[in-house]
Amino acid sequence: MHCCFCKKQQSANIKFIMSPSESERAYICEECVPVCIDAMNQSDASNAEAPCSFCYKGAETVRTFSSSGKAPNATLCEECLAVCMAILEDDSPATGE
């Protein structure tokens, strides 16, 4: 298993989020989620024509962002990136008590 964006292999030190799709699985690591969100926030328009690799909504429906790595190339939409960020926030240890 590897991140579809940075191609890092899964390890005990890196958390991965898996797409909910039963057919083609896509993975994104915890390090790529904020990078993708920052890149999408800096972009005015969709830079991908393929559907989101997580929810399969098309670029005509949601704004998508494509990985810059070599195949298999993944595409994520704003909505799925927000879900990934929420998952990582829920998974982080509590602080300040």
Q: Which comes out higher in pLDDT, residue 6 or 22?
A: 6
Asked if residue 74 is part of any domain, the answer here is yes
Q: Which comes out higher in pLDDT, residue 79 or 92?
A: 79
Give yes or no for a contact between 34 and 40, defined as CB atoms under 8 angstroms apart: no
Give yes or no for a contact between 59 and 50, defined as CB atoms under 8 angstroms apart: yes
Strands 64-66 and 27-29: unpaired
Domain that holds residue 49: 16-91
If one counts the domains in the chain, the total is 1
Asked if residue 77 is part of any domain, the answer here is yes
Condensed to tens digits (0 to 9), the pLDDT of residues 17-73 reads 988 866 678 889 999 888 888 877 776 545 667 788 888 888 777 777 776 655 457
Asked if residue 96 is part of any domain, the answer here is no
Q: How confident is the model at residue 86 (pLDDT cuts 50, 70, 90)?
A: very high
